[in-house]
Amino acid sequence: MLSGEKGFIVAKMMELIVKMCEAYGCEKLVRVNHVHVSGVSYVNIGDYGLEFIKDIHSYRPRASVYTTTNPVCVDLTGLSRILSNEFIDKQLVINKYFEEMGFQPTYSCIPYYFRKPSVNEHLAWGESSAVIYANSVFGARTNREGAPLTIASSITGYTYFAGMHMDENRVVKISLNVDRDVEPELYGALGYWIGENIHETPIIKGIVENYSSIKIMLASAAATGDFALVVIDKITPKGSYRVSDYLEKISVGFKDIEENVFRGREEGYVLGYIGCPHLDPLEFRTLVEKFSNRRVKRECGFLVSIPYPFLSIFRSEIDFLRKRGVDVVAGTCPIVSKLTVKPDLVLTNSGKAFFYFKNIHGLNVRIASFETIIDNVTEK
Amino acid sequence: MRRLLIEVKPVIAKPFTGSVLVIDRYISFYGEVDVENSVYKPLNIHIANKVLVFKGSRGSTVGSYVIYGLSKRGGAPIAMIVKNLDPVLVSGCVLTDIPLLVAQNYDDLIKNLSQSSTSGLKATYRGGSYVEIEEQ
């Protein structure tokens, strides 16, 4: 491939992977079965990223393996009143280029719901929350890749054998015990705390087997820390990690994480937000059931982000939620988009969303359980 | 300083020669670099067509695309000599064919350079493991 027999762009993309391999002192490349491309949102990559994608696309490359795509910067239903559609034209150009390259229009940060990775399978994924879920829940192997490298892996079908692909980098060094007073509904706050306070790969004990909550916890830990793997006792497949001879023991309880958790009631415009990472089908159905006898209060907002393919799967449910005042956005999220509103308070169950609302949007934000969010922004 | 040979590990080993610019910091290309004007904003300093000596990059992975944007506008550095590598730099430099070298003794290099007026220094790389730095 490097010598150009498959064309200039394949050779260039291969060179990128080989150079990355050399830079990290690794000795071989490895084939991947699934690539998840990050850097899809125009708000994130800007004109220079768009230029790059346009230039790559001009060589007419094709994905050589199954490739999914991260969220975009506009609501693909076109109906949101909370997320801006300012950059829709530029975003649709990016989408067109990627789709013509054979990438799947999932526009979602939960690619594992479209293709489930297997244990010890090599992947090349961007999007920190998806990477940590693949490594920690499925026992698959992927680094936190940058956007150009994911495109290169899709076109060539390879990545470099370093970091999380190697057994010696998947070693548990800390045992973290989670007290029973940390409810799964607050795993967003737990993940936020883990990312801020734990700096070696932990094995976490005491986690309840609730995959929606685990998804939120892992995304939050990956946002505040640089984790690509957090071993979860009884969930992470054995054989996908090793345990160090000496384990430092730490425990965490509600008192450690309560600092960012919402208490009481709030006046003014409260925006509830769930769907970071994107809602999975179970969370979505729970949400629909909750709204059987509720609607969003006139003075509040409720934003829910879902994968793009849900639009065709749950068409009538989405219409129902909209009629109840829920701002359902597809293929995007407020982390990679812009808000049109300036709420007095944002309530979210995600530590990742908490982190970005606070640091990028500069908003007053608290972590709350799904139930608490519903209680505060809806009425019967 | 008349002439200095510095040992490097080449990542993208393309020969070059040009004026040295030292920014002894980690640079976040996304946010800290004005692509249209090729300016490193915190110091308001032009980086176009310079041999940029710096610690490495930090921050958003979009930095690779910023390097790409600089190059397409003819405003990228001629070469980069760094203390530490990271994926943003490797991706950005591979995509643009900007020579990228890791200085084996970066701290000594900075000490030596700080004793001279860096504006008058020229760096030349002909391939291999050494870069030659001399007064212009």
Could you write out the DSSP letters of every residue in A298-312?
Answer: TT-EEEEEE-TTHHH
Q: Is B60 a catalytic residue?
A: yes
Q: Taking Cα atoms as reference points, which of B20, B43, B11, B16 lies closest to residue B112?
A: B20
Q: Is A148 close to B72, i.e. CB distance below 8 A?
A: no
One DSSP character per residue, A45-76 reads HHHHHHHHHHHHHTT----SSEEEE--BSS-T
Nearest CB among A12, A23, A39 relative to B62 is that of A39
Which of the following is catalytic: B19, B60, B91, B116?
B60
| Chain A contacts in chain B segment 11-70 (CB below 8 A) | 11-12, 35, 60-62, 64-66, 68-69
Q: Which residues in chain B are contacts of A49 at CB distance < 8 A?
A: 62, 65
Contact B95 A44 (CB under 8 A): no
Give the SS3 label for residue A334. Answer: coil
Say if the Cβ atoms of B64 and A19 lie within 8 Å: no
Across chain B, mean pLDDT equals: 91
Query: How far apart, in whole angstroms, are the C-alpha atoms of residue A82 and residue A332?
Result: 12
Q: Is residue A158 a contact partner of residue A137, using CB atoms and an 8 Å limit?
A: no
Quick check: A48 and B90 CB within 8 A?
Answer: no
| Residue A325: pLDDT band with limits 50, 70, 90 | very high
Any idea which residue has 């995600």 for tokens?
Answer: A350
CB pair distance less than 8 Å for A146 and B85: no
Chain A interface residues facing chain B, Cβ-Cβ under 8 Å? Answer: 12, 15-16, 19-20, 22-23, 38-39, 44-49, 51-52, 126, 145-149
Inter-chain touch B95–A148, beta carbons under 8 Å: yes
| Mean pLDDT computed over A348-375 | 94
Contacts of B61 in chain A (CB under 8 A): 38-39, 126, 146-147
Using an 8 Å CB-CB cutoff, list chain B residues near A52.
Answer: 65, 68, 95
Mark yes or no for CB contact A146/B11 under 8 Å. Answer: no
Q: Using 50, 70 and 90 to split pLDDT, how confident is the model at A197?
A: very high
Q: Flag whether pLDDT at B10 surpasses 90.
A: yes
| pLDDT, position B118 | 60
DSSP secondary-structure letter at B88?
A: H
Range list of H helices, chain B: 29-32, 63-72, 87-96, 106-114
Determine the pLDDT at residue A254. Answer: 97
Per-residue pLDDT, averaged over B2-30, amounts to 93
Average pLDDT over residues B27-54: 93
Q: What is the pLDDT of residues A221-253, one digit of tens each?
A: 999 988 899 999 999 999 999 999 999 999 999
All domains of chain A in start order, with CATH = 8-165 (3.30.499.10), 170-259 (no CATH), 262-379 (3.30.499.10)
Q: What is the ipTM for the molecules in this complex?
A: 0.82
Alpha carbons A78 and B45: distance in angstroms, whole number: 42
Average pLDDT over residues A60-70: 97
Q: For A239, left (φ over 0), alpha (ψ -120 to 50), or beta?
A: left
How confident is residue B1, by pLDDT bands cut at 50, 70 and 90? Answer: low
* Residue for token pair 């004109």: A47
Percentage with pLDDT > 70 across chain A: 99
Interface test with A, best of B35, B88, B89, B90 (most A CBs within 10 A): B90
**Chain A neighbors of B11, CB-CB under 8 A:** 19, 22-23
* 8 Å CB contact between A372 and A209: no
Please tell me the distance in Å from A309's CA to the nearest CA on chain B: 26
* B62 with A149: Cβ contact below 8 A: no
The reported pLDDT for the residue numbered A24 is 84
A229 and A166 Cβ atoms separated by less than 8 Å:
no
Q: Tell me what pLDDT residue B117 has.
A: 59
Q: Position A255: which residue type?
A: K
Predicted confidence (pLDDT) per residue in A250-266, tens digit? 999 999 999 999 987 67
Q: What is the pLDDT of residues A115-168, one digit of tens each?
A: 999 999 999 999 999 999 999 999 999 999 989 999 999 999 999 999 999 999
B62, B85, B87 member nearest A49 (Cβ): B62
For A269, phi then psi, to 5°, come to -85, 105
Residues in chain B within 8 Å Cβ distance of A51: 65, 68-69, 72
Nearest beta carbon to residue A48 from set B12, B35, B88 = B35
